[in-house]
Structure 1
Amino acid sequence: MPGQRLISRDLVEELGISRGPLREAFRRLAAEGLVDLIPNRGAVVRRLSVDEIAHIYQIREALEGFAARRAAELIDEGDNRARFTEVLERGRRHFTQPDFQAFVVDNRQFHRIIVDMCGNPQLSELIDKYQLPVFMIQLRQRIGVDEIVRNSLAEHEAIASGILAGDPDAAAAAMRRHLWHSADELVKLPALKRPE
């Protein structure tokens, strides 16, 4: 949870690892911007500010808009259409059975398959870097989310429509709209609210 202190002693015991690998994991998480390392206190799960979220989504808009464009251009290459349709269908179950925790995982898979269809490992690596902090915030949410799920699924349908039609402009525009709507919703989530 953002702001939560990660207690080394507890994690060593819980995960059954020594302190060395745990320190290395903390350093990596800090390098990714997911935790802050505080001298004599350890690691604390980082809170993202509204400005940081806006900056992340500006980057995601450029990268994932490009990915959606490329996915539409490459939809009929190899098994792209079948793989994309499979992930899309899996996500559609949330229209009738909204389960936010499962949706967050399926949502990540939806965005992941679009990037994978591009066949560009560097693009994939960059997008992962900017999706992960948002994914971690979303994964912790449990309340007031049915509408978020439904809106997101409708936006996924618009993105999918552009990709499956092989229309790069429509796919990219739908992805950009989806990301900015997601950013607006994300800043309203309880995980971003500081205690009064």
Structure 2
Amino acid sequence: MEDFLLTDQDRATLQYKVTTKLREVILKGDFKLGDRLIQEEWATKLGVSRMPIREALRQLEVEGLVRIEPRRGAIVTPISISDIEEIYQLRTLLEGEAVERSLPFLEEDDITELESLYSQMISLNNTEKDVEEFMKLNAEFHRILRHGCPWRRIHSMIDTLWKGIPLYTPSLLSNHIKEAHQEHKQMVEFIRQNEPKKLRRIMEKHILRTRDNLIRMIEKKDVEKD
């Protein structure tokens, strides 16, 4: 069994760390559909009280990774390949449309901020702390890319799809971050060149590549179980 015990340094951001650990073991396939995630067991494994476990489970329920049932507790509902296909196909359609419509409305300050975020991302290493920082910068990069889109409803739909796995994908696929850097660089270049259709295509490629890598990760985990 993997050693999940959190260090003293981890406790500086305890709630975030507990939620991240539990999310990772679910997304990486350590549980099967219907398995119980027992608070007492995970409090012991992580070296924390039950309170942060309870709060983490509430967040994971919002993300659709667990279901809280009376008298049974947290029931794991892991992401399937079908879920990945649905989430990322919808993201491709919606975010491709959003960034294409956003570009004409982006101002110089927006573009400068995107360039700054890109520079910060490529300066990071592959440590756990840097991957966490990359996730925050990446989410903000994508938000600014699409925030100029005048369609109000598309933003709420994209925000819903981003809850859960898309936000935390870099922690699962940290060995693919270099590919993300190249795609982010192209996005900034196409914005500077005022090429909305090219921006849309690279965004679609970016999302579909991530989808394919996630599916391969799940398939590999399934093979290892057999």
TM-score for both structures, normalised by structure 1: 0.74
CA distance in 2, matches of 1:130, 1:106: 18
- The count of aligned residue pairs is 184
**Change in CA separation of 1:71 and 1:192 when aligned onto 2, cut-off 3 Å:** farther
**Change in CA separation of 1:125 and 1:12 when aligned onto 2, cut-off 3 Å:** farther
Q: Is the 8 A contact 1:71 1:115 kept in 2?
A: yes
**Change in CA separation of 1:63 and 1:157 when aligned onto 2, cut-off 3 Å:** same
1:179 aligns with 2:210: no
CA offset at residue 31 of structure 1?
5.3
CA offset at residue 81 of structure 1?
1.8
1:123 aligns with 2:150: no
Q: Is the 8 A contact 1:35 1:45 kept in 2?
A: yes
Alignment of 1:14-163 (within 5 A): 14-15=51-52, 26=58, 30=61, 32-75=63-106, 77=107, 79-94=109-124, 97-99=125-127, 100-118=131-149, 122-135=153-166, 138=169, 140-141=171-172, 145-146=174-175, 148-163=176-191
Structure with more relative contact order (C-alpha pairs < 8 Å, separation 6 or more): 1
TM-score for both structures, normalised by structure 2: 0.66
Q: CA RMSD in A?
A: 3.4
Residue 133 of structure 1 aligns to which amino acid in structure 2?
G
Q: Which runs of 5+ in 1 are unaligned?
A: none
Give SS of 2:102's match: helix
CA offset at residue 173 of structure 1?
0.6
* Percentage of identical aligned residues: 23
Superposed CA offset, 1:66-115 (max 9, x none) = 1221232223x362222222222222224xx3443433332222212212
Q: Which moved more, 1:58-67 or 1:78-87?
A: 78-87
Q: Which runs of 5+ in 2 are unaligned?
A: 1-24
Residue 124 of structure 1 aligns to which amino acid in structure 2?
H
Residue 132 of structure 1 aligns to which amino acid in structure 2?
K
